[in-house]
């Protein structure tokens, strides 16, 4: 029995509800209220300090606001009511999670919009590349035919290289062909295309 | 690819550069007041010296007021104080809000350094200051004759920044006169 009580206590079933914020204990009647307090103390920004929330700050105003927050949570106020209370006095500055409105559309939807723009741009570029490379394949094939025509050597290599040509730029392809053909006479013909 | 599209990254870079360059010169400590153009919050507090209860009604109907939040624990207030005394001698109506202070120390302060205030209310619990969205003393509000807050100034009023506040007050006084 004693063990059971110990167990329940350890796992917070019987433990008195409280929130420990900034080293202070804030006792509550139930865990739910304690949780509301904890969440709000972490989500509301201290109006005096630049980058701290109410829970972290030691500023006088943060202390006052924590007390106010505690009283309001104790009184059973809803999170929205408490947030409105803070915003009415200290402005939207205190919200670490800004509201969605005309001023914050860019903030909320900007990243998604940028991703969409990037995806569209990527798609367009890829399409253009593919178009270019098929054109290149054609011209490359023509060039190779000419090269074969001029010097009838190494015709088996050119077939292989044109199949892989999508991976190379025109200039690289020309150099590769020159090397594979092992024949200086094909170089000017390829470069010219 | 069309040639002009090559300039897109450059243009984006320039725009981003301008945005960040402007950001360098913004004051991150500047918090716009949520109370500008809102009526002065209701209050009923005793004055520091006479102890009579005053409400927001005493700001209405009269001249354009300054409402100055101060405390003896606040060092910037001590810097600001002589200039406030000077302003009151020039006829500027200033209401004081004594923010979370000890009454005796505050009375002694006014005795020793001079009292620039028409009256100071004793905001011992800081409730009025919280309703005003005060984040620290000194802080000063310009309140028009309708009892509406028109401007908020954080930090001490000095000879250097008084010009812009005076301009606002003069403008409001003209509005009232019309």
Taking each helix axis from N to C end, the angle separating A31-43 and A79-90, rounded to the nearest 10 degrees, works out to: 30
B121: which strand partners?
B47, B97
Same domain for A130 and A90: no
Write the pLDDT tens digit of every residue in B116-167: 999 999 999 889 999 999 988 899 999 999 999 999 999 999 999 999 999 9
A100: in domain: no
Tell me whether residues B130 and A50 touch, CB distance under 8 A: no
Same domain for A62 and A113: no
Confidence of residue A10 (pLDDT cuts 50, 70, 90): low
For A111, what's the count of Cα atoms within 13 Å in the CB-facing half-sphere? 2
The two beta strands, B93-99 and B65-70, are parallel
Q: Which CATH superfamily is domain B32-177 in?
A: Glutaredoxin (3.40.30.10)
Q: Is the ipTM of this complex over 0.85?
A: no
A45: in domain: yes
User: Domain holding A78: CATH number?
Assistant: 1.10.8.640
pTM: 0.70
A155: in domain: yes
Domain that holds residue A162: 105-192
Q: Do the Cβ atoms of B31 and B135 come closer than 8 Å?
A: yes
Residue A84 contacts B, CB cutoff 8 Å: no
Is the pLDDT at A169 greater than 90, yes or no?
no
Q: Do the Cβ atoms of B127 and B56 come closer than 8 Å?
A: no
| Chain B residues inside the 8 Å CB shell of A90 | 31, 34, 133, 135
Q: How many domains does chain A have?
A: 2
For B51, what's the count of Cα atoms within 13 Å in the CB-facing half-sphere? 2
Nearest to A90 among B126, B133, B136 (CB): B133
| Chain B residues inside the 8 Å CB shell of A59 | 136
DSSP string of A51-89? Answer: S-BTTT--SHHHHHHHHHHHHHHHTT--HHHHHHHHHHH
Residue B135 contacts A, CB cutoff 8 Å: yes
**Shortest Cα distance, chain A CAs vs residue B165, angstroms:** 21
**Shortest Cα distance, chain B CAs vs residue A183, angstroms:** 33
């Amino acid at each position: 029995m004693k063990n059971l009580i110990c167990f329940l206590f350890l796992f917070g079933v019987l433990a008195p509800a409280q929130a420990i914020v900034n080293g202070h204990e804030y006792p509550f009647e139930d865990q739910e209220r304690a949780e509301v307090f904890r969440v709000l103390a972490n989500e509301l920004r201290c109006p005096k300090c630049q980058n701290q929330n109410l829970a972290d700050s030691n500023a006088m105003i943060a202390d006052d606001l924590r007390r106010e927050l505690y009283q309001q949570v104790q009184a059973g106020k809803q999170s929205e009511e408490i947030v409105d209370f803070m915003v009415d006095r200290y402005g939207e500055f205190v919200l670490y999670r800004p509201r969605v409105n005309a001023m914050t559309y860019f903030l909320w939807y900007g990243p998604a919009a940028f991703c969409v723009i990037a995806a569209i741009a990527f798609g367009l570029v890829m399409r253009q590349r593919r178009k270019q490379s098929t054109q290149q394949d054609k011209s490359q094939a023509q060039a190779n035919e000419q090269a074969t025509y001029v010097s009838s050597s190494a015709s088996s290599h050119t077939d292989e290289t044109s199949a892989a040509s999508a991976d190379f730029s025109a200039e690289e392809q020309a150099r590769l062909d020159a090397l594979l053909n092992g024949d200086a006479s094909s170089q000017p013909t390829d470069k010219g295309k | 690819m069309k040639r002009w599209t090559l300039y897109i990254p450059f243009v984006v870079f320039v725009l981003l550069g301008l945005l960040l360059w402007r950001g360098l010169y913004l004051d991150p400590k500047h918090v716009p007041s949520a109370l500008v153009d809102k009526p002065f919050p209701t209050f009923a507090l005793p004055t520091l010296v006479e102890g009579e209860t005053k409400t927001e009604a005493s700001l209405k109907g009269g001249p354009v007021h300054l409402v100055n939040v101060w405390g003896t624990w606040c060092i910037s207030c001590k810097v600001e104080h002589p200039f406030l005394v000077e302003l009151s001698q020039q006829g500027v109506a200033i209401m004081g809000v004594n923010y979370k202070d000890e009454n005796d120390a505050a009375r002694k302060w006014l005795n020793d350094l001079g009292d620039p205030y028409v009256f100071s209310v004793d905001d011992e619990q800081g409730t009025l200051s919280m309703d005003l969205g005060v984040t620290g003393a000194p802080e000063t509000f310009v309140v028009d004759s309708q009892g509406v807050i028109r401007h908020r100034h954080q930090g001490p009023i000095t000879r250097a920044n008084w010009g812009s506040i005076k301009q606002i007050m003069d403008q409001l006084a003209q509005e009232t006169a019309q």
